[in-house]
């Protein structure tokens, strides 16, 4: 039985999924019988033309009764319904991951309320851990207790509900999620919306530890009304539209990673010549060629004037990383293989910090390739052996050309 309840299903390439919180359901998003957040979004026909819309609906209640039926007799003697119980966030995220895996969407945006945001984050982390990438491109957090909710601690005193325990301030689940989220590269664009009158999830918790001011927004609502806009003029609805627009703009910039099928490719290029002069191991040379190949593919994606300016900033920062590692290489007298490996590692380390703030959609592989694009010139700005000269580069280039 699918846990996705479809609001709009037209086989579009992109998907928006609403995820409710504790003791919620599809009704979480409803203002009245005719109006709901997903339906209002569906009404924006031009804006939402490339999307399908669904709600992820899971079992949650304060008691451990079976199923969504309140009849104990029916739950015990019916063999046609799954007997559902409260599941921890960890397991709910596995179910969400399965539902997403069974679809075929290029880009997914999650709109999550309260505990649903923690389910979403856990799902994203699992995807990245397994595949190193996620087709979830955006997460919109509505009053999500990223640091836990004090009321859950109080509730936990009178209930054994596993979901309340997960939501408690300082719970192992909350702590592990926060640590993994901060340490994981390539997490999707995340926007935080909090309710100024929320008595259950305060501002400090609704804005995650790593949330930037530019990614945070307040709305005049409480914990419940933040996800029940009555019309398209409500602040919460307009905020979500604004964030979806930002995330949509990044879809076209998602650059795939590809394998270089020809091991002898680029052998006569300057960036390879410079590695040959430095006696860089042939396996490292092969990796560099593949990095370069992917960077060349990425350059064909970012073609606007604005993109080119951002690329220039990115190239400049990568050059600075190289220069810092070059200084350390000269001072320490490290071998050339270690030198090039250290520059690659610095790019990986900075991928989610300094380098990620300029242009989205690029992997650290593309950025390592950008390093070799900078090296692919008849100069000594980027070399791997400090005594390399222009004459050596010229002679090696001519030798490589004659061999070909």
**Most trustworthy range by pLDDT among 14-18, 72-76, 351-355:** 14-18
Average predicted confidence (pLDDT) for the chain: 86
Label residue 275 by pLDDT band (50, 70, 90).
very high
Do residues 196 and 236 make contact, with C-beta atoms less than 8 angstroms apart?
Answer: no
Q: Which two tokens stand for residue 391?
A: 């004459």
* Integer CA distances (angstroms), 98 to 1, 126, 179, 378, 394, in order: 12, 11, 24, 51, 55
Tens of pLDDT, residues 320-375 = 999 999 999 999 999 999 999 999 999 998 886 777 656 666 888 999 999 999 99
Neighbour-count burial for 192-205, b at 16+ CB within 10 Å, e otherwise: bbbbeebebbbeeb
DSSP sequence for 324-348 = HHHHHHHHHT--HHHHHHHHHHHHH
pLDDT of residue 338: 96
Do residues 122 and 176 make contact, with C-beta atoms less than 8 angstroms apart?
Answer: no
Q: Which two tokens stand for residue 308?
A: 């080119």
Tens of pLDDT, residues 216-260 = 999 999 999 999 999 999 999 999 999 999 888 777 556 778 899
Tens of pLDDT, residues 179-191 = 999 988 778 889 9
Interatomic CA distance for residues 191 and 228, integer angstroms: 18
Interatomic CA distance for residues 139 and 240, integer angstroms: 10
pLDDT of residue 361: 67
Q: Which two tokens stand for residue 32?
A: 């009245």
Whole-prediction pTM value?
0.63
Of the chain, the percentage scoring pLDDT greater than 90 comes to 60
pLDDT of residue 72: 39
Tens of pLDDT, residues 292-334 = 999 998 888 777 777 788 889 899 999 999 999 999 999 999 9
As a whole number of Å, the CA-based R_g of the chain is 26
Fold of the CATH domain 4-251: Rossmann fold (3.40.50)
The residues spanned by each domain of the chain are 4-251, 270-403
Check whether 125 has a pLDDT greater than 70. Answer: yes
Do residues 83 and 75 make contact, with C-beta atoms less than 8 angstroms apart?
Answer: yes
pLDDT of residue 249: 75
DSSP sequence for 297-316 = HHHHH--SHHHHHHHHHHHH
Q: Which two tokens stand for residue 37?
A: 């957040």
How far, in whole angstroms, is CA 70 from its chain's centroid? 39
pLDDT of residue 66: 38
For the segment 4-22, the average pLDDT, to the nearest whole number, is 94
């Amino acid at each position: 039985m699918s846990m996705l309840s479809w609001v709009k299903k037209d086989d579009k390439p992109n998907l928006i999924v609403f995820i409710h919180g504790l003791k919620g359901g599809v009704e979480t998003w409803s203002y009245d019988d005719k109006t709901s957040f997903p339906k209002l979004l569906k009404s924006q026909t031009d804006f939402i033309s490339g999307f399908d819309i669904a709600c992820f609906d899971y079992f949650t209640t304060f008691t451990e009764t079976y199923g969504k039926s309140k009849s104990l007799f029916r739950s015990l003697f019916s063999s046609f319904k799954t007997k559902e119980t409260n599941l921890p966030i960890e397991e709910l995220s596995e179910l969400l991951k399965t539902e997403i895996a069974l679809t075929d969407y290029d880009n997914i945006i999650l709109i999550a309320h309260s505990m649903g945001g923690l389910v979403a984050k856990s799902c994203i982390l699992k995807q990245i851990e397994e595949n190193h990438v996620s087709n979830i491109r955006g997460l919109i957090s509505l009053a999500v207790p990223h640091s836990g909710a004090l009321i859950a601690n109080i509730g936990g005193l009178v209930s054994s509900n596993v979901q309340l325990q997960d939501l408690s301030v300082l719970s192992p689940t909350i702590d592990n999620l926060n640590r993994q989220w901060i340490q994981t590269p390539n997490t999707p664009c995340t926007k935080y919306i909090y309710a100024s009158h929320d008595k259950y999830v305060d501002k400090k918790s609704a804005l995650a530890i790593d949330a930037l001011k530019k990614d945070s927004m307040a709305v005049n609502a409480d914990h419940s009304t933040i996800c029940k806009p009555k019309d398209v003029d409500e602040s919460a609805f307009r905020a979500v539209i604004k964030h979806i627009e930002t995330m949509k703009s990044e879809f076209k910039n998602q650059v795939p990673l590809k394998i270089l099928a020809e091991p002898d490719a680029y052998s006569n290029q300057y960036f390879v010549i410079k590695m040959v002069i430095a006696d860089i191991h042939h396996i490292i040379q092969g990796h560099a060629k593949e990095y370069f190949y992917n960077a060349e593919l990425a350059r064909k994606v970012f073609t606007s004037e604005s993109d080119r300016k951002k690329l220039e900033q990115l190239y400049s920062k990568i050059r600075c990383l190289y220069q810092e590692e070059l200084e350390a290489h000269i001072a320490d007298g490290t071998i050339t293989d270690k030198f090039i490996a250290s520059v690659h590692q610095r790019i990986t380390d900075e991928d989610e910090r300094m380098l990620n703030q300029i242009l989205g959609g690029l992997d650290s592989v593309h950025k390592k390739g950008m390093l070799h694009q900078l090296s692919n010139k008849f100069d000594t700005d980027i070399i791997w052996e400090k005594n390399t000269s222009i004459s050596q580069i010229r002679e090696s280039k001519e030798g490589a050309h004659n061999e070909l």
